[in-house]
Amino acid sequence: METRVAVIAIIAEGSRSAEKINSVLHEYGEYIIGRMGVPYRNRGVNIISVAIDAPQDKINSLAGKIGRLEDVTAKTLYY
């Protein structure tokens, strides 16, 4: 199956969603190239970027699951 490279940008308000985000990312761990998280305390948000190499449907599924979490926004950029 053909894969695509993408970056998923995630912004989570506060830290309440951290465990749920990590759980979803763990589900897709075999596709994740790397991730970086930055707490931006001045604004009370956490900024996470996830580099992924996966089939398009897996990328869409991951971004959708994360984006549906409360107080979380996710956007995807494809190569």
Q: What is the CATH number of the domain that holds 43?
A: 3.30.70.1150
Backbone torsions φ then ψ of 65, nearest 5 degrees: -60, -40
- What pLDDT was estimated at residue 14? 86
Express each pLDDT in 7-51 by its tens digit. Answer: 999 999 988 899 999 999 999 999 999 999 999 999 999 999 999
Question: Residue 15: what pLDDT?
Answer: 84
Domain enclosing residue 57, as ranges: 4-78
Angle at 73 between CA 4 and CA 6, to 5 degrees: 10
How far is residue 72's CA from residue 74's CA, in Å, rounded to a whole number? 7
Q: What domain count does the chain have?
A: 1
Whether the model pTM is above 0.85: yes
Tell me the average pLDDT of the chain. 96
The arithmetic mean of pLDDT across residues 56-76, rounded, is 97
